[in-house]
Amino acid sequence: MSAISLRNVKKAYGKNEVVHGVDFEAAAGEFVVILGPSGCGKSTLLRMVAGLESVTAGDIEIGGRVVNALEPRERGCAMVFQNYALYPHMSVADNIGYSLKVAGVPRSTRETRVKAVAESLGLGEFLRRKPGQLSGGQRQRVAMGRAMIREPLVFLYDEPLSNLDAKLRVAMRVEIRRLHQKLGTTTLFVTHDQVEAMTLADRIVVMNKGVIEQVGTPADVYHRPQSTYVASFIGAPGMNILPARLGAGSSLLLLDDGQTVDLAGHPGGSDLPNEVHVGIRAESISLANHGRGVRAKVHFTEELGSSRLLHAEVGSTPIIVSSKDAGIIEPGAEVNLELPPDSLHFFNPDSGRRIAH
Ligand SMILES: Nc1ncnc2c1ncn2[C@@H]1O[C@H](COP(=O)(O)OP(=O)(O)OP(=O)(O)O)[C@@H](O)[C@H]1O
Ligand SMILES: [Mg+2]
């Protein structure tokens, strides 16, 4: 188990800087997920840790040792990719044991270790098969076996599940988490899928355009997003964001269509600037009786089985409400929404950063 630490790490391709000074630390044994949309620099960051990409500035440390100048094979990282490229002509056993063979490990030792790794991944009965005779999930596990057998200091995963169908993805998620519990190897896992991040991570690093927006536990990033970016990215649906102004005596919020939300009882009301972006989760909103709360117009509803999402608009601002008990609501219907003051998040409209309260 080795801690990984990145200090002001930058990457430029020619003049184009794509990672702008990233700082974070994964403690020994921690499972850290790097989350962000396509092109934000996740793979670049991971490849710099692995040594497949040089670092333009800053330091990367693994197990207390700066690895910037080390070759990939000297860093003790094992990497699993989305396209895991098994050797098609080799058996499962030979694929898993390949790195040991190259390293000159004697056959009997190799066989024992391959067997142990394959057993731990539920691949014991497939050792003689070729990759072409396996399902996608089994192939993914072979790729993981190939990484595990080297007993690496750290595991690096780059979107390893995105080629799998939805059901298998969920099953492999559980498998990866179980494996981590058993081995306790420090892990960096890259994904653009926030559900994957929420379910796998001890901590999530949320990235946006080459910078870190927030580092926190899944509960942190969900319940205390530090920016509107994180608030909208995390959760399905993301947090609703409504532009608003502060009304008389800071006890009222004025929404863009002139409707008001009572802030009575909100701890930080008096510290707020004049204009804010107000965040509220879909499940924090409830349907209210006529004459209460704010009026919204429903455009359509989305049935999720255990709940329903109402896609509505307050004035011209879209808002999504999650409701367990709403009956059928026709498109065009008007509903009243209760926005409880203690469920509101406030963000600076210019910077998008959370306003502490
Ligand atoms: N070899 C390269 N030369 C020039 N630019 C590159 C190179 N590799 C990546 N980039 C650029 O760096 C940025 C970050 O790329 P990166 O692959 O790290 O994104 P990502 O977050 O992994 O995205 P995705 O989710 O699509 O895999 C992108 O704008 C990309 O075009
Ligand atoms: Mg990538």
Structure confidence by residue, pLDDT tens digits, 86-134: 999 999 999 999 999 998 999 999 999 999 999 888 899 999 999 999 9
| pLDDT reported for residue 182 | 86
- The dihedral through the CA atoms of 62, 65, 68, 72 has a sign that is negative
Nearest ligand to the C-alpha atom of residue 44 = 1
Mean pLDDT calculated for residue range 164-170: 83
117 and 241 housed in the same domain: no
Domain finish residue from 232, 264, 282: 232
Q: How confident is the model at residue 245 (pLDDT cuts 50, 70, 90)?
A: very high
154 and 297 housed in the same domain: no
Measured CA distances, 14 to 52, 219, 236, 329 (Å): 17, 38, 37, 55
Task: Report d(CA 350, CA 355) in Å as an integer.
Answer: 12
Residue type, 285: I
Domain finish residue from 232, 263, 281: 232
Q: Whose CA is nearest to atom 12 of ligand 1?
A: 18
Average pLDDT value for the chain = 92
| pLDDT reported for residue 144 | 87
Q: What is the DSSP string of 46-98?
A: HHHHHTSS--SEEEEEETTEE-TTS-GGGTTEEEE-SS----TTS-HHHHHHH
| pLDDT reported for residue 289 | 87
Q: How far is the CA of 19 from the centre of ligand 1 (A)?
A: 10
Q: How confident is the model at residue 268 (pLDDT cuts 50, 70, 90)?
A: low
CA trace torsion 171, 173, 176, 179 (10° rounding)? -60
Burial 77-106 (b: 16+ CB within 10 A, else e): bbbbbbebebeeeebbbbbbbbbbeeeeee
Q: How confident is the model at residue 159 (pLDDT cuts 50, 70, 90)?
A: very high
201 and 278 housed in the same domain: no
Q: Whose CA is nearest to atom 8 of ligand 1?
A: 44
203 and 296 housed in the same domain: no
Domain finish residue from 214, 232, 250: 232
Atom of ligand 1 nearest to the CA of 42: 21
Q: What is the DSSP string of 299-314?
A: EEEEE-SS-EEEEEEE
| pLDDT reported for residue 151 | 85
| pLDDT reported for residue 187 | 96
Q: How confident is the model at residue 48 (pLDDT cuts 50, 70, 90)?
A: very high
104 and 22 housed in the same domain: yes
| pLDDT reported for residue 269 | 57
Residues 300, 306, 310: CA angle, nearest 5 degrees: 20
Mean pLDDT calculated for residue range 186-201: 96
Structural domain of 64: 4-232
Q: Whose CA is nearest to atom 2 of ligand 1?
A: 13
| pLDDT reported for residue 272 | 80
Q: How far is the CA of 42 from the centre of ligand 1 (A)?
A: 8
Structure tokens that stand for 336 in this block: 């009243």
Given a contact cutoff of 8 angstroms between Cβ atoms, the answer to whether 286 and 337 are in contact is: yes
Structure tokens that stand for 238 in this block: 């993301």
Does the N-terminal peptide bond of residue 331 adopt cis geometry, omega within 30 degrees of 0?
no
Residue 338 has pLDDT above 90, yes or no: yes
